[in-house]
Structure 1
Amino acid sequence: MAMPVQGGSEGLHEWRLEEARHLIEKAGKGSLESLVMVDALQRLGIAYHFEEETQILLQEQLHISTFDGHPSRSSNNIFQSFMIKEDNYSGYVFDLKLCKDIFGLTSLYEASHLGVQAEDILDEAADFTRRALSLSADKFLYVGNGMSSQVLGELVRKTLSNPFHKSMPRFNSMSFQYYFTGPYEWTRTIGELAILDSNLVQSINQTEIRQISKWWTDLGLAKELKFAGDQPMKWYMWPMAILSDPSLSQERVDLTKAIAMIYIIDDVFDVYGSPNELILFAQTINRKFEP
């Protein structure tokens, strides 16, 4: 596949997308590599480009996938394979030999956050891996995949503080890029695509911020109601977080405007507002949001 000579970063981004799509199609369906690839795509914040392809890969799995967000009830049997019967204990406990595999521990810790009520074994997995990883975080020696002990320790600490399934992938993708490595032929392409995608998304977010700032300035409420909040960046953060798909640009802008009005209404009616200011406020809202 020839690299484009024109089109700048967007052209390179499109080229990397097609290259990555080709590599995904080559991944062995039902293999460990295919799951590692899906996991990497999600953690790098670029899985939205390949929803159909990743679903095909995941559907090939006969057992639980810790990456699709919907673990099956067969998970208990799978986790029990990591447990042994202890002599002085009536039940089973997680095998301490698992502590030798740091990457396996982090995966088990991540999977434990997908548990539902009454899945006690996942609670046990969370407790076991949390303690094991916490004890190991500052004691790593150089490991075989080329990752230094310092970097691996930092990866473990970030995993403990921000489990993937309880975090926002877009915000964590940049740090994951730093740790992203592997023996597969697609590693470099996926990593480069993630960087290009992050840059393009950042450009889109900056454009939206400029639109919102202009709207807020033109609205004039910051000048008329000096006691009210003047925080367009704060209002934009929530839409940016929950509507992470770059194609939802207008939705993010519209939601930010609604959030801004909610904050202003709160300031006007709960904090301070004279009759004249309340009349001015109501007139402004009606004028700006009438059909």
Structure 2
Amino acid sequence: MGTSFRALFGVTSSSPTPLLSHRHAYAHTNKSTLNTLLFLKRLTLGIDNHFPEVIRAALDRIETEELPGESDVFNSLHMVALRFRLLRQHGIWLSTDVFGKFRNETGSFSTDICTDPRGLLSLYNAAHMAVPGEVVLDDAIAFARGHLEVIKGKVRSPLAGQISCALDIALPRFTRRLETMHYMAEYEHEEAYDTLLLELARLNFNLVRILHLKELKALSLWWRDLYDTVKLPYARDRMVEIYFWTCGMLHEEEYSHSRKLFAKTFGLVSLLDDTFDVHATLEECYKLNEAMQRWDESVVSILPEYLRMLYIKTLSNFFFFEAKQEGIPLLCFY
């Protein structure tokens, strides 16, 4: 990417900038657990990778600081569920006991929370951080989903849209890049939203999108050359789909090399997969498997004619990947 987010804002250890000032402001003034939780939530605007130290400190704070039992704020289902989800999403274990105050003597969730749509939505999303065997969270999903289905047409935007999206795909299972896109549209409708944070998020989103488009262009040219060379009309032409999938895993600018490497690898695997699944005979599958196990261009003669170029291109591309990773001059391959 020609101009990175950090370069554009001059983010260095010695140059104060709006971003740095903003970061220091959150680090040193917003000490309450409430403000910390809201700040961490707002970083889902897609700029969390620019605040690693602040996020670490914020997580330490909300993990170790007990939520005040007498506070109306922290007796709120929304805030308890938000804290639970954020900690678990960052790999910090938190017991489901925190939801005990919202359950009745039989262990079921209390009907008192049915009139709190935001709380139900937060509970529903948080419960999707469950691990196998957490019955409390399984119950929470069923309980919250049933009531959200009933009330989704009775609440205003943007909450109505958030509920519909969550019922389709729960927030912890949503692609981060798409989550950012949705949240940017919703964030400016929140009370006391931060204009600078939203500006930074929009700028970062557009800069990363430019990088993604450059990567996709390069990958499309690589794929077209490969696809036209191997001449396998039964194989799916799916580089855009594959690249979208890699962005779902790693969308940040610093993972550019990994995205391109994954996309090329999955593209080659896709050609092999289609060959094994929909076209090759059983005998041809055995021969291709034998050749792949031996991983040597000299055995290409055991393959049927139509698979030879696929085998050669697979080997040459992986040799190229390894050479580039190890710093071997690429001229050796020409």
What TM bracket, shorter-length normalisation?
0.7 to 0.9
TM-score, length of structure 2 as denominator length? 0.71
Q: Residues of 2 paired with 1:246 and 1:94: CA distance?
A: 42
Displacement of 1:279 in angstroms is 2.4
> Which of these residues, 157, 169, 172, is aligned with residue 179 of structure 2?
172
The residue that corresponds to 2:119 in the other structure is 104
Summarize the Cα distance change of 1:136–1:271 in structure 2 as closer, same or farther, 3 Å threshold: closer
Q: Verify the 8 A CA contact 1:19 1:189 in the aligned structure 2.
A: no
Bigger proportion of residues as helix? 2
Summarize the Cα distance change of 1:135–1:275 in structure 2 as closer, same or farther, 3 Å threshold: same
Q: Verify the 8 A CA contact 1:137 1:153 in the aligned structure 2.
A: yes
Summarize the Cα distance change of 1:57–1:278 in structure 2 as closer, same or farther, 3 Å threshold: same
Displacement of 1:224 in angstroms is 3.4
The residue that corresponds to 1:67 in the other structure is 86
Structure 1, unmatched stretches of 5+, are 1-6, 86-90, 141-148
Q: Verify the 8 A CA contact 2:152 2:163 in the aligned structure 1.
A: yes
Q: Verify the 8 A CA contact 1:105 1:129 in the aligned structure 2.
A: yes
> Which of these residues, 252, 264, 267, is aligned with residue 260 of structure 1?
267
2:47 partner letter = I
Summarize the Cα distance change of 1:73–1:17 in structure 2 as closer, same or farther, 3 Å threshold: closer
The residue that corresponds to 2:80 in the other structure is none
Q: Verify the 8 A CA contact 1:235 1:259 in the aligned structure 2.
A: yes
SS in 2 for 1:229: coil
For each residue in 1:201-222, what CA deviation from the matched residue of structure 2 results, as whole angstroms up to 9, or x when unmatched?
1111101011111222344635
The residue that corresponds to 1:41 in the other structure is 43
For each residue in 1:182-204, what CA deviation from the matched residue of structure 2 results, as whole angstroms up to 9, or x when unmatched?
444x6222222221111111111
The residue that corresponds to 1:11 in the other structure is 8
Q: Residues of 2 paired with 1:220 and 1:126: CA distance?
A: 45
* Identical pairs, percent: 26
Summarize the Cα distance change of 1:130–1:219 in structure 2 as closer, same or farther, 3 Å threshold: closer
Is 2:302 the partner of 1:279?
no
Q: Residues of 1 paired with 2:143 and 2:272: CA distance?
A: 48
Displacement of 1:30 in angstroms is 4.4
1:231 partner letter = R
1:23 partner letter = A
TM-score, length of structure 1 as denominator length? 0.80
2:257 partner letter = Q
Displacement of 1:160 in angstroms is 2.2
Q: Residues of 2 paired with 1:272 and 1:127: CA distance?
A: 43
Higher relative contact order (CA 8 A, sep 6+): 1
2:163 partner letter = V
Q: Residues of 2 paired with 1:116 and 1:33: CA distance?
A: 28
For each residue in 1:221-251, what CA deviation from the matched residue of structure 2 results, as whole angstroms up to 9, or x when unmatched?
3573344333221221222211222211111
RMSD across aligned positions (CA): 2.8
Displacement of 1:102 in angstroms is 2.3
Is 2:257 the partner of 1:250?
yes
Summarize the Cα distance change of 1:160–1:224 in structure 2 as closer, same or farther, 3 Å threshold: closer
Q: Greater CA deviation, 50-59 or 121-130?
A: 121-130
> Which of these residues, 158, 161, 185, is aligned with residue 165 of structure 2?
158
> Which of these residues, 207, 218, 221, is aligned with residue 211 of structure 1?
218
Displacement of 1:19 in angstroms is 4.4
2:86 partner letter = F
SS in 2 for 1:94: coil
Displacement of 1:92 in angstroms is 4.1
Summarize the Cα distance change of 1:125–1:283 in structure 2 as closer, same or farther, 3 Å threshold: closer
> Which of these residues, 140, 145, 163, is aligned with residue 125 of structure 1?
140
Q: Greater CA deviation, 206-215 or 164-173?
A: 164-173
The residue that corresponds to 2:197 in the other structure is 190
Q: Residues of 1 paired with 2:95 and 2:271: CA distance?
A: 50
Q: Residues of 1 paired with 2:249 and 2:129: CA distance?
A: 20
Q: Paired residues, what number?
A: 269
